[in-house]
Structure 1
Amino acid sequence: MSTFTLTAKGPFSLAPSLAFLEGFTPASYQPGSDPALKLAFPIEGSWQTVGVRVREHAGGVRGEVLSPQPSEKKLTEAVRAQVARILSLDVDGSGFPDVGRRDKVVAGLQQRYPGLRPVCFYSPYEAAAWAIIGHRIRIRQAAAIKTRMAEQLGEPVSFGDDTVHAFPAPQRLAELQAFPGLSGRKPEWLRALAHGALEGRLDAARLRALPAEQALATLKELPGIGDFSAELVLLRGAGDPDRVPHHEPRLARAVAVAYGLPATPSDDELEQLSENWRPYRTWVCLLLRAHLEDVTGEISGTGPHAGR
């Protein structure tokens, strides 16, 4: 079995990542008795489906490539890099505690969620597909459709005690004509997205290397990807660690709740406040999102403000 290790620079714990995934509706993650993270996804570039089991390891995590077997060194290195991005272990977080020293609200959130870093979609491609699937429907309805697509169109990966279905690789979606629950132009948009992924237009490293505004403009060239979706793909798909999403409708409310503000902040006020969060603005936004969900339950649909 091929294995690899990832060492965290700065605070990190796998346990909060598991807990976050359990409550992250798009992931549809089902925990088991084994305190390990079971990942099945198409690897960027080759788009071959892989299965990886990730466990806490001294100062980071240890990954085991369960599928395919045997795994060539080149594939294992690609898996390692993708898992690092998924868990935000490709970012040096040693300066993150400094943000809490500058901002007492962030310090409180860091204490409440110790070691939590953003858990990204498996790829910008999958993040963009989620954005298209979820366009103008409720989040739980979109998650159900995404799960069925994985089960019917994706490849299964055995973890011994259970089977995880990967989201279908772009080669499969490139041929999609229709799927139950996908209305309007969504099948067409998903086909275009799949072709874009195969052409390298959604490569995570490429998107991260571009200036943020250029990356967002590039993403919006894809059919069905607007302002909100482009930010989702860049921040939660490519894993950009330092950007405030300007089109996330719940962020201002999350800030108001965490900071005890009498009203939601304006865009300018939010920008000014977020200066103290650099260079981890995306990470702080995640902590704010987690806090909002704990307080209101509105993201999962369990609270009085529930809804998409």
Structure 2
Amino acid sequence: MGLYSEEGSLRPTPPFDFAKSLDFLGMFPPMREDQTVSELSMTKAVRVGGRAIVFQLKPTGTIKMPGLKYTLFADHPFSRGLTEVVIDRISFFLSLSDDLDQFYRIAINDSNFAPVLQKLYGLHQVKFFTPFECACWAVLSQRNQLSAARKAKQALLERFGTSLEVNGHVYRAFPEPGQLGKASQEDVKALLKHQRREEYLGEVIRAFSEVDERFLRTANYDKVEEWLMNIRGIGEWS
């Protein structure tokens, strides 16, 4: 099967150190196996319009004048709208638009925090790719061994995720609420093997199926927190 590709560039808000993002992904257990990472690049899948899009990122420029070159891969032609959605996802994932200047101005004068700032200079917060994936991890990791939670998340990804093969590697995008909502109770039970987590995951799926992600990104923090806390299985420690 032939693949379509598209290239372009992104301009993160400086300072931005892509190497710090890669370091984080390499040590953060819930996402360690979700992408391939080399010294100078990252390749990962995202689900858009029911299909998997694979993107590869490589750094250009410097920490104070940063840039990222992207290459997108798909099994169907790109449109302007499709590319914009993928770019928005990437920007959210790596917090490319975060302006840390004011934070740095305060932190540099804190004798306890200044060494941390210097060590992590240029790191922008790396998030779960979607709020839904984050909520699923919150349920899977509750009162659970980290290795078991990782195994359960990987099982959901492999069983229900949308995939695309690029350069001999199969990349899978974490399923959306609608995908998991169509899964049979027997399938989920076989993967999780824990009744309470099955129930909580079902509550998360239903809640996220009924909410617009723009609300989660842009609404008042307290309103979003209230909405989350009303989901059975999500609490203060989630």
Report the TM-score, using the length of structure 2 for normalisation. Answer: 0.85
User: In 2, distance between residues paired with 1:175 and 1:161?
Assistant: 29
User: In 2, distance between residues paired with 1:140 and 1:105?
Assistant: 33
Aligned to 2:130: 123
Q: Deviations over 1:213-259 (max 9, x none)?
A: 22101112222111222xxxxxxxxxxxxxxxxxxxxxxxxxxxxxx
Q: Which of residues 34, 41, 44 in structure 2 aligns to 1:39?
A: 44
State whether residues 150 and 165 of structure 1, in contact with CA within 8 Å, keep that contact through their aligned partners in structure 2: yes
CA change 1:149–1:219 in 2 (3 A) is: same
Q: Which of residues 221, 224, 237 in structure 2 aligns to 1:212?
A: 221
Determine if the alignment matches structure 1 residue 5 to structure 2 residue 16: no
User: In 2, distance between residues paired with 1:7 and 1:158?
Assistant: 28
User: In 1, distance between residues paired with 2:14 and 2:233?
Assistant: 37
Q: Residue 2 of structure 1: SS of its match in structure 2?
A: strand
- In the TM superposition, residue 120 of structure 1 has moved relative to its aligned partner by 0.2
Q: Which amino acid aligns with 1:35?
A: L
- In the TM superposition, residue 97 of structure 1 has moved relative to its aligned partner by 2.5
Q: Which of residues 198, 204, 223 in structure 2 aligns to 1:193?
A: 204
Could you tell me which runs of 5 or more consecutive residues in structure 1 were left unpaired when the two chains were aligned. Answer: 230-308
Q: Deviations over 1:180-214 (max 9, x none)?
A: 2341232233233223333225x1x3223222222
Tell me how many residue pairs correspond in the alignment.
Answer: 225
State whether residues 47 and 173 of structure 2, in contact with CA within 8 Å, keep that contact through their aligned partners in structure 1: yes
Q: Residue 192 of structure 1: SS of its match in structure 2?
A: helix
Aligned to 2:234: 225
CA change 1:5–1:194 in 2 (3 A) is: farther
User: In 2, distance between residues paired with 1:154 and 1:47?
Assistant: 10
Q: Deviations over 1:41-66 (max 9, x none)?
A: 334xx454321111112313122221
CA change 1:99–1:68 in 2 (3 A) is: farther
Mapping of 1:254-293 within 5 angstroms?
A: none
Q: Which of residues 134, 147, 151 in structure 1 aligns to 2:141?
A: 134
CA change 1:42–1:192 in 2 (3 A) is: farther
Higher RCO (C-alpha under 8 Å, 6+ residues apart): 2
CA change 1:85–1:155 in 2 (3 A) is: same
Determine if the alignment matches structure 1 residue 81 to structure 2 residue 67: no
CA change 1:221–1:47 in 2 (3 A) is: farther
State whether residues 156 and 191 of structure 2, in contact with CA within 8 Å, keep that contact through their aligned partners in structure 1: no
Aligned to 2:153: 146
Aligned to 1:27: 31
Q: Which amino acid aligns with 1:17?
A: S
Determine if the alignment matches structure 1 residue 56 to structure 2 residue 59: yes
Q: Residue 95 of structure 2: SS of its match in structure 1?
A: coil
Report the TM-score, using the length of structure 1 for normalisation. Answer: 0.67
CA change 1:75–1:196 in 2 (3 A) is: farther
Q: Which has the larger share of strand?
A: 2
CA change 1:6–1:99 in 2 (3 A) is: farther
Q: Deviations over 1:90-130 (max 9, x none)?
A: 22233343133231332211221231121100000000011
Q: Which of residues 154, 159, 178 in structure 1 aligns to 2:166?
A: 159
Aligned to 1:236: none
Q: Which amino acid aligns with 1:159?
A: V
More deviation, 139-148/89-98: 89-98
Q: Deviations over 1:248-285 (max 9, x none)?
A: xxxxxxxxxxxxxxxxxxxxxxxxxxxxxxxxxxxxxx
User: In 2, distance between residues paired with 1:83 and 1:131?
Assistant: 22
Could you tell me which runs of 5 or more consecutive residues in structure 2 were left unpaired when the two chains were aligned. Answer: none
